[in-house]
Every structure is written in structure tokens, then in C-alpha cells.
């Protein structure tokens, strides 16, 4: 049977062909453009006509006061997001699992998944109004005698806004993976715990949470790969010049350098640095995940 099939694998290659062709053109063809980071790009001369400058662009980047700040901002925002994004879905998944009425559980799930599917363009439009100085949130704070808080324009508050709204957007969707893991826990564990006299709380503490251990570790490990991704979509839509000092991240900085200021070489250099470091981080976290939790993607 195998002999008969060998001659037919061309069909499998044929199925790959259209997709692979598009990947080669739109994802591999831009790669040589990376040389821009090592050239003094003059648009009229084209990528290959422009002069080589070696590492000059990178040196220049080091001397820019913004670069270090932007790199630091990126790490800080991404780290805070990882720290706050990780416990909430676990808590909600455990609590959802305690709900007995299937209809209530399903309704809550549908509602908490929603924000994940809405774009930051839309959400920023809502949040910027809700949290403005005369917005509803500040009006509500006013009832308790609090002074209006400049959520969107104060650098410190703005970072908290970024983290809080990011947690809000994603916690529901992230429960999916934990709920599935909880469903997979062996029923007999709970039954024997009940015989031993464990109440609900003790069952959660001694069976549910430890059973989630591996998946929690996996999610945490993999999230380290994204430590340079502070969330371009969100920051770009929500920020304003008032908070650039703390909210400007690598991706928004590259946008302003490349598209607004047309400084292609510097934009490429910073983007390249991010890609290389990001690649190393992702591969490392993936290898760790594979080693310690048998996780594979292909």
C-alpha cells in the first residue's frame, strides 16, 4: 500500500504550493530588506544602491536618549501585563467550575469572552471617553468626594490603565484553557477526597489547583517569550503625547521613526534588534516548555 502511495505524494506537495508561494513572497521576500539597518538608506537610490555604513545606525541608536527609555518602557509594561494577566483567569476558571447551573455558566462564559473579540480601535474609543477627566468614571468618583483623576494623561496612571484594560480584555478568553484542564481532572480524586471528609474549599486547594500546576507553568513559561511585546495595538490606540515618556514602546517608536519621520534605516535597526531578541526569547521559552511540560506545537 505504501508503494502505491509514494507516487501520489505530489498531490500533497500540490496542496502546499499556493500557501507556500504566498509565504515565500510576503514573509521571506521582505527579509533581505533587513540590510537597511546597515545602510544609509536614500529612497531614490533604492535598497541596494544605498551605501553601506556597517553598525553606524546601531551606534547612533545607542546614543539616542529615547532608545533606552523605550526599551525600558516595553519591558516594564510587558512584565506588568504578564504578572496581572496570569492569576485572574485561573481564579475565574476555578469559580466558574463551582457553578452548578449550566445555563448561568454558559451565559457568563459568553459574556466574558466578548472583549477578546473587539478591536483596540473600538475599545480605545470607549475607554478614552469613559476615563476622561469629565467622563463617567470620574463623575462616579466625584460622588465619593474624590478629585478627578487624569487617567489618560498622567504617565503613572496611564500604565495602570494599560495593564487594567488589557486584563479586562483577555481574562475571560484565557479561562478557556484552564476550564478545559479542570474538565480533564479525574473524578475519582474528588470522590475519595469527599470520603476523607474534604469540603469544597479543600477539594479546590488540594486537587483542582495542584492539577492545574503543569498548565499554569506552561502558560507562564510561554508568556516570557512575549516580554518584548507590550501590545502595539493597545498602546498605539490609547496613548497621546502626554504619556510618551512612559508609554512609548519599541513598536510605537519604530512606527514614528519609520512612517512619520521617514527614518527607514533607524526604524529597521530597532525593529531588527527587537525581532532578534524576541526570537531568542520565544525559542528559549518554547524549549523550556518542551523540556518541563512535554509541550510541542508540531
Which of 42, 275, 287, 292 binds other proteins (CB under 8 A)? It is 275
Residues in contact with other proteins, total (CB under 8 A)? 105
86-145: contacts with other proteins (CB under 8 A): 92, 95-96, 98-100, 104, 107-115, 117-119, 121-130, 132, 134-136, 139
35-94: contacts with other proteins (CB under 8 A): 36, 47, 92
Examine residue 190 and tell whether it contacts other proteins (CB under 8 A).
yes
Examine residue 294 and tell whether it contacts other proteins (CB under 8 A).
yes
Q: Which of 138, 160, 161 is nearest to 148 (CA)?
A: 138
Of 73 and 138, which CB lies nearer to other proteins in the complex structure? 138
Q: Which of 163, 167, 181, 178 is nearest to 116 (CA)?
A: 167
Q: Which of 5-13, 52-60, 78-86, 156-164 is the region at the interface with other proteins (rule: CB under 8 A)?
A: 5-13
Residues with Cβ within 8 Å of residue 67, at least 6 apart in sequence: 61, 253, 270
| Cα distance between residue 222 and residue 204, in whole Å | 25
Query: How does strand 39-40 pair with strand 51-52?
Result: antiparallel
Which of 58, 60, 150, 255 binds other proteins (CB under 8 A)? It is 255
Backbone angles phi, psi at 51, to 5 degrees: -85, 145
Backbone angles phi, psi at 64, to 5 degrees: -70, 125
Instruction: Tell me the closest approach of the beta carbon of residue 13 to other proteins, in angstroms.
Output: 7
Examine residue 267 and tell whether it contacts other proteins (CB under 8 A).
yes
Amino acid at each position: 500500500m505504501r508503494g502505491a502511495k509514494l507516487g501520489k505524494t505530489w498531490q500533497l506537495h500540490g496542496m502546499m504550493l499556493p500557501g507556500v508561494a504566498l509565504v515565500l513572497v510576503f514573509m521571506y521576500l521582505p527579509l533581505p530588506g533587513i540590510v537597511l539597518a546597515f545602510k544609509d538608506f536614500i529612497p531614490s537610490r533604492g535598497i541596494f544602491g544605498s551605501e553601506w555604513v556597517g553598525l553606524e545606525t546601531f551606534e547612533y541608536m545607542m546614543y539616542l536618549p529615547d532608545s533606552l527609555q523605550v526599551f525600558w518602557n516595553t519591558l516594564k509594561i510587558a512584565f506588568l501585563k504578564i504578572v496581572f494577566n496570569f492569576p485572574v483567569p485561573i481564579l475565574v476558571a476555578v469559580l466558574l467550575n463551582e457553578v452548578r447551573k449550566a445555563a448561568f455558566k454558559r451565559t457568563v462564559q459568553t459574556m466574558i469572552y466578548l472583549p477578546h473579540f473587539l478591536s483596540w480601535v473600538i475599545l480605545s474609543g470607549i475607554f478614552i471617553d469613559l476615563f476622561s477627566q469629565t467622563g463617567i468614571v470620574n463623575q462616579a468618583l466625584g460622588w465619593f468626594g474624590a478629585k478627578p483623576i487624569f487617567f489618560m494623561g498622567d504617565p503613572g496612571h496611564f500604565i495602570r490603565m494599560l495593564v487594567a484594560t488589557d486584563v479586562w480584555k483577555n481574562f475571560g478568553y484565557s479561562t478557556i484553557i484552564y476550564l478545559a484542564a479542570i474538565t480533564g481532572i479525574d473524578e475519582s480524586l474528588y470522590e475519595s477526597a469527599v470520603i476523607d471528609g474534604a469540603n469544597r474549599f479543600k477539594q479546590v486547594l488540594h486537587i483542582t489547583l495542584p492539577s492545574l500546576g503543569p498548565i499554569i507553568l506552561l502558560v507562564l513559561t510561554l508568556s516570557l517569550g512575549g516580554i518584548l511585546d507590550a501590545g502595539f495595538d493597545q498602546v498605539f490606540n490609547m496613548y497621546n503625547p502626554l504619556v510618551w515618556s512612559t508609554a512609548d514602546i519599541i513598536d510605537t517608536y519604530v512606527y514614528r521613526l519609520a512612517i512619520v519621520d521617514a527614518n527607514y534605516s533607524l526604524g529597521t535597526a530597532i525593529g531588527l534588534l527587537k525581532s532578534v531578541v524576541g526570537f531568542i526569547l520565544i525559542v528559549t521559552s518554547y524549549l523550556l516548555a518542551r523540556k518541563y511540560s512535554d509541550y510541542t506545537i508540531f
